Amino acid sequence: MQSWPYFRAKPRRFSSFRDGDQSLMGRIRPVVDVLYTFSGAIGEVAGIAFPPAKAIFIGIGVLLAAAKDVSASHDALVELFQRIESFFRRLGVYTQISLTAEMADVFVKIVAEVLFILSIATKEVKRKRAKIYFRSLLGRTDVEGAWRRLDSLIQEEVRMAIAQIMKVAGNQMELDVRKWFSPPDPSTNHNTACDVYHNVPPIWFFEASVFMDWMSRGSLLWIHGKPGSGKSILCSAIVQHIMALRDAGKATLAYFYFDFRDDEKQNSTDFIWHTGRERNSQAPGS
C-alpha cells in the first residue's frame, strides 16, 4: 500500500514524531491506510473533486506540528488516535465491496466529525494546555457529541455495508443457482437434425397408427435403430410437430438430446433439470 510512504514523506515538521515515536505513528498509520484506500472511491462515488482523505491528512499534520513542542502531548495524542483508529479500523472491511452513493455520503460525514475533533485538539494544543485539555477531552460536551455521532454514523455504515454484502451475495447465489439449473442446450442438436431433412415433415410417420396411438394415450414411443439410421432426425421431426401444437396452446413440450460426442449431454441429471425447467416454464401462471 502506498499511503504510508506518501504520508511520511510529507512536511518535515513530522520528523520529531517519525524518528522517535513509533507508538504514536503506529496509531496514526491504520487511520491513514484506511482513509487512503477509501479516498479515491469516495471522491468518485460522491462526486467530490477534493478527496476527503486529504483533509484528514492535513488535519493530522497540523495537530502534530502544533504538538511537537508540547512535552505533555505525547500520551494524550496516543490516546486520541487510539480512539480514532478504533473507528476507522471498523471501516477497513468495506474495502472489499463496492461503495454506494449512500455509503459514500456517510463516510464523508464521518470524515467531517473526525476533522471537528482534530480541530478542537489542535486549538487546545496551541494554547499550551494539552495536558489539561486531553485529560478532559473525553468529557467535553462538544467532543463527546462528536464521538457519539461518529459511533452512530459508523453503525449506519455497517448496516449499509451488510445490506450491500447481502445484495452481492444474493446476486451471486442467484447466478450460481441459475448455472446449476442450466444444463446444456439441446436446441443445437435439434437444429442440426432439422437441417438434415430441411423441415419437411415425415407425413407417413405422423399418419402411422403407432404415432397416433402415442399422441392420444401419452404412452412410451421407443424409436430404435443402428447408429446413423436416422433416429435423431425422426425425433427432431416429432419435436417440431409438437412445437406447433404447443404454440397453438394444445400441448406442453420438453425435450433433450443425449449425445455421445458431448460429455455434457450424457448425464441423466441434466436431462431431469432441463425437462423439469421446460415444463415449469410452460405451466399456467409461470
Q: Would you say 97 and 103 are in contact if contact means Cβ atoms under 8 Å apart?
A: no
Residue ranges covered by each domain of the chain: 3-180, 187-281
Q: What is the pLDDT of residues 107-144, one digit of tens each?
A: 767 767 777 777 777 766 666 554 555 555 545 555 56
pLDDT of residue 261: 84
Please give the C-alpha separations between residue 107 and each of 56, 126, 251, 281, in angstroms, as whole numbers.
12, 29, 58, 45
Amino acid at site 251:
A
The HSE-up count of residue 34 (CA atoms within 13 Å, CB side) is 19
State the pLDDT at residue 9. Answer: 43
Q: What is the pLDDT of residue 239?
A: 92
C-alpha cell at 244: 406447433
- Rounded to two decimals, the pTM is 0.38
Query: Tell me, what's the pLDDT at 225?
Result: 86
Any residues with CB less than 8 A from the CB of 31 and at least 6 apart, and which? 56, 60, 81, 84, 85, 88
Listed in sequence order, the residues at least 6 apart from 29 whose beta carbon sits closer than 8 Å to its beta carbon are 4
Q: Report residues of the chain scoring pLDDT below 70.
A: 1-78, 86-100, 103-104, 106, 108, 111, 123-183, 199, 284-286
**Cα–Cα distance measured from residue 199 to residue 103, given in angstroms and rounded to the nearest whole number:** 58
Residues 83-95: pLDDT tens digits? 777 666 666 555 5
The per-residue pLDDT for 216 is: 86
How is the chain split among helix, strand and coil, in percent rounded to 5?
Answer: 75, 0, 25
